[in-house]
Amino acid sequence: MRAKKPEPELLSAGVGIANHDWASLITGESIACYLSCAAEPRTNELRTKLTGLGKKIFLPIIRPDTQMLWGIDKPPYSQNKFGISEPQVSQFDLRRASAIILPAMCADESGIRLGRGAGYFDRALSQVPSFQSGGPIRIALIFDEEFLASVPSDENDELVDLLVTPTRIIHCKS
């Protein structure tokens, strides 16, 4: 379904996501986010809004050992092996984030999200305490129709706390 979405719809979804009350959703300063690609809801407006709220945005950098590092959301960017833009590496520790904003193909109300299959975000999240244990809040961005009754999972899947769509904020029951 995503592959058929025209760019104006992707942009509109990104604007809808950015228009939520992010000041009350994320109270801390350091936010891990991502640069949208392919047919994902666009994150440009959200990153701009968060920066305007005084948040510092960090973006993922994929390493050959299947791990992720993080860099400040500012040029220059380089292209990784998947064609995704990445910033320069910083000393940011994901465990110090206030929030982690994640891509997802779909998700359910229990907090299970289906990513793109490589497991980079799940491996990174496995090293970070859950929100209930004092870690950063985990937020997945999806289209409205990608909120499903149930999503398959396995032992490597990490749960999220919130789902944000262009029209809704869904608190997960994780």
Any domain includes 122: yes
Q: Given a cut of 90, is residue 103 above it in pLDDT?
A: yes
Position 139 in a domain: yes
User: Is there a domain that residue 167 lies in?
Assistant: no
Residue 13's domain spans which residues?
2-65+73-108+118-148
pLDDT, averaged across the chain: 94
Question: Looking at the domain assignment, is residue 6 inside a domain?
Answer: yes
Q: What is the CATH number of the domain that holds 102?
A: 3.40.50.10420
User: Is 154 domain-assigned?
Assistant: no
Q: What is the largest CA-CA distance in the chain?
A: 41
Give CA–CA dist 107/174, Å, rounded. 12
- Does residue 160 lie within any of the structural domains? no
pLDDT in tens, 21-69: 999 999 999 999 999 988 999 999 999 999 999 999 999 999 887 789 9
- Number of Cβ atoms within 10 Å of the Cβ of 88: 13
Strands 30-32, 56-62: parallel, antiparallel or unpaired by DSSP? parallel
Q: What is the pTM of this model?
A: 0.95
Beta strands, E only, the chain = 30-32, 56-62, 68-72, 78-79, 85-86, 99-103, 106-108, 113-114, 137-141, 147-148, 162-164, 169-171
pLDDT digit string (tens) for 81-94? 888 899 999 999 99
Q: Please say if the pLDDT value at position 144 is more than 80.
A: yes
> Is 162 a domain residue?
no
Query: How high is the pLDDT of residue 174?
Result: 65
- Number of independent structural domains in the chain: 1
